[in-house]
Amino acid sequence: MVSDPDLKYYDALAKTARAVYTEDAAALYRASDERIDDPSHTEIGSVLRSTFEQFRRPLTVLDLGCGCGRYFRFVRGARHLVAVDLSIPMLQQARNPAGGPIDGTVDLVQGNLLTVDFKPQCFDLVYCLGVLGLYVPLDIYLLGKIRTWLKPDGKLVLMVVDARSPRDPTTLKHTVAQAVRPFMPKRIQRIIDARPGAAPGLRLTEAQLRTLLDATQFKYHIRDRGDPGYRIDLVCVAEKTALQENAFLMRES
């Protein structure tokens, strides 16, 4: 719709993610989810809940990268929740999410966030938390698809790893690869990004996030959260309005 996807790149990222999010990893994530009052969960959960509560109708909601269902409890009252994740072990945990079952129907979908597709204007609310900037890049293609899936007054909640976040300890080879990455051709950059431990190449600055949101005609506000010594996230709440939709369609035609 907005940009041509690089399917080979997306497949390479998915292959890396599958190797990371195993049954052992899913068990660790689930143990973290069980800490219901953990501020790292409730802080972003409160943003999601407050966005959800702005609507005055039963909602159809999309969770992109649902993991073990950590944030299901913050959209309690949704009529229909569709939850997508690449990892089968994670989805198995999401069948019985922490915090108990939610109202309405829940469909768990195994798939790549970058290539999954839905009908236009079928969701009131889309959220993607804890995956963007790790093994999933936020690019114009994905953001454009999300815009298409949203109803005219739909809302979007995103959390993206900020480029200012410290890099995880890694091998000398990975350190060198990240240091030279900005000077390499895009094709080589994508090969580096798809390797395990090379996630920093997928992170965004606030300026880059604003550029993507402006290009896809969202109204939005952004704030950061987290520990500068560990990880900083950009938290974005965006809205698609009917006026912006008309302008977007005219530009794309």
Task: Give a three-class secondary structure readout of the chain.
Answer: CCCCCCHHHHHHHHHHHHHHCCHHHHHHHHHHHCCCCCHHHHHHHHHHHHHHCCCCCCCEEEEECCCCCCCHHHHCCCCEEEEEECCHHHHHHHCCCCCCCCCCEEEEEECCCCCCCCCCCCEEEEEEEEEECCCECCCHHHHHHHHHHEEEEEEEEEEEEECCCCCCCCCHHHHHHHHHHHHCCHHHHHHHHCCCCCHHHHCECHHHHHHHHHHCCCEEEEEEEEECCCEEEEEEEEECCHHHHHHHHHHHC
- Residue 73 lies inside a defined structural domain of this protein: yes
Domain total of the chain: 1
Q: What is the pTM of this model?
A: 0.85
Structural domain of 89: 7-160
> Residue 141 is part of a domain; what is its CATH number?
3.40.50.150
The rounded distance, in Å, linking the Cα atoms of 72 and 109 is: 14
- Residue 179 lies inside a defined structural domain of this protein: no
- Residue 18 lies inside a defined structural domain of this protein: yes
Q: What is the pLDDT tens value at each position of the chain, 253 positions in all? A: 446 678 888 898 898 889 889 999 999 999 999 999 999 899 999 999 999 999 989 999 999 999 999 999 999 889 999 999 999 999 999 999 998 888 889 999 999 999 999 999 999 999 999 999 988 999 999 999 999 999 999 999 999 999 888 765 454 445 444 455 454 555 545 555 555 554 557 899 999 999 999 999 999 999 998 877 778 999 999 999 766 556 555 555 4
- Residue 194 lies inside a defined structural domain of this protein: no
- Residue 188 lies inside a defined structural domain of this protein: no
Tokens encoding 41? 């969960």
- Residue 65 lies inside a defined structural domain of this protein: yes
